[in-house]
């Protein structure tokens, strides 16, 4: 048998009634992603096919009918198993939604939200999130969509999450935090390793080692991820692809498009055409 034809159907929804929430539908039968992160929580489900994906150095399998949880800024690669024709829906949800719902459910004083098992079997929960997607895609009322989202997040938290205690960061954590803040404030700048070393108060070698251990990416890849995320925001705000490329710090539209697809698995045009 020959190899299946390439299938790369991608759609996005960004609903003004649910700020900080983006929904993605993807259909793939070949590798589409390199290592990447998301600034938001990723909560989704596999509709068809299967994937073997890497998350924080560990390998996980997910197949049709299973839910997937990925925390913000966690390096991962989610590509379909060979010729499995995988389709999935993923909700990218700003941490403020999780934090606010966690406080409502568990009270104040909770630490970060952690999903210890990234792949779970929960048919009822999956059906709820499918209903939420339908409500967004069909333009249902704001109250209905908000209610579905809050209930869905509460169910994720009570069934599958762990809540950590707030912890004081150590010296290396503070150094990494200082560098990430510095890079975030200078997304489009040509930042040198010497500059980051000075910000962190660490040698260049030590910084490279602790930064990758903490974030899963070397500083240059982290900056590239920040630039792609900025490009996404520019596209969502109505910028043209060429404008987004320049404002996100890429050499030109071709470079932007190439890196964008490598990290997101979609072209800037596909992302730009999101339904609202």
**pLDDT value for 7:** 47
**pLDDT value for 88:** 92
The model carries a pTM of: 0.79
**CA–CA dist 11, 5 (Å, integer):** 19
**CA–CA dist 33, 77 (Å, integer):** 6
**CA–CA dist 124, 152 (Å, integer):** 10
Range 8-163 classified under CATH 2.30.30.140: no
**CA–CA dist 248, 236 (Å, integer):** 13
**CA–CA dist 211, 155 (Å, integer):** 34
**pLDDT value for 36:** 81
Q: What stretches of the chain adopt beta strand conformation (E)?
A: 8-14, 21-28, 41-48, 50-55, 58-63, 67-70, 76-77, 86-93, 113-114, 119-120, 162-163
What architecture is domain 171-272? Answer: Orthogonal Bundle (1.10)
**CA–CA dist 229, 85 (Å, integer):** 27
**CA–CA dist 53, 61 (Å, integer):** 6
pLDDT in tens, 208-229: 989 988 888 899 999 999 999 9
Q: What is the average pLDDT value for the chain, to the nearest integer?
A: 88
- Ranges of residues in the chain with a pLDDT under 70 are 1-8, 30-33, 108-111, 164-169, 275-276
CB 104 within 8 A of CB 163: no
**pLDDT value for 268:** 93
**pLDDT value for 169:** 66
Query: For the chain, which residues make up each domain, given as ranges?
Result: 8-163, 171-272
């Amino acid at each position: 048998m020959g190899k299946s034809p390439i299938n790369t159907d991608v759609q996005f929804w960004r609903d003004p009634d649910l700020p900080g929430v983006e929904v993605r539908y993807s259909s793939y039968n070949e590798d589409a992603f390199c290592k990447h992160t998301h600034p938001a929580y990723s909560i989704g489900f596999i509709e068809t096919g299967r994937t073997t994906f890497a998350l924080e150095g560990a390998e996980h399998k997910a197949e049709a009918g299973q839910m997937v949880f990925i925390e913000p800024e966690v390096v991962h690669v989610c590509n379909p198993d060979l010729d499995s024709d995988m389709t999935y829906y993923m909700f990218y949800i700003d941490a403020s939604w999780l934090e606010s719902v966690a406080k409502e459910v568990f009270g104040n004083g909770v630490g970060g939200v952690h999903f210890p098992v990234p792949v779970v079997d929960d048919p009822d929960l999956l059906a709820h999130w499918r209903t939420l997607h339908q409500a967004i895609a069909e333009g249902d009322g704001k109250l209905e969509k908000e209610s579905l989202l809050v209930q869905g997040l509460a169910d994720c938290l009570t069934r599958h999450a762990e809540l950590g205690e707030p912890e004081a960061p150590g010296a290396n954590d503070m150094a990494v935090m200082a560098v990430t803040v510095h890079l975030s404030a200078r997304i489009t700048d040509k930042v040198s390793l010497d500059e980051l070393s000075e910000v962190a108060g660490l040698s260049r070698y030590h910084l490279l080692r602790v930064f990758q251990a903490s974030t899963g990416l070397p500083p240059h890849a982290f900056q590239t991820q920040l630039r792609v995320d900025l490009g996404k925001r520019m596209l969502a705000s109505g910028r043209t692809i060429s404008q987004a490329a320049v404002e996100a710090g890429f050499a030109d539209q071709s470079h932007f498009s190439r890196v964008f697809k490598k990290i997101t698995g979609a072209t800037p045009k596909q992302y730009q055409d999101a339904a609202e």
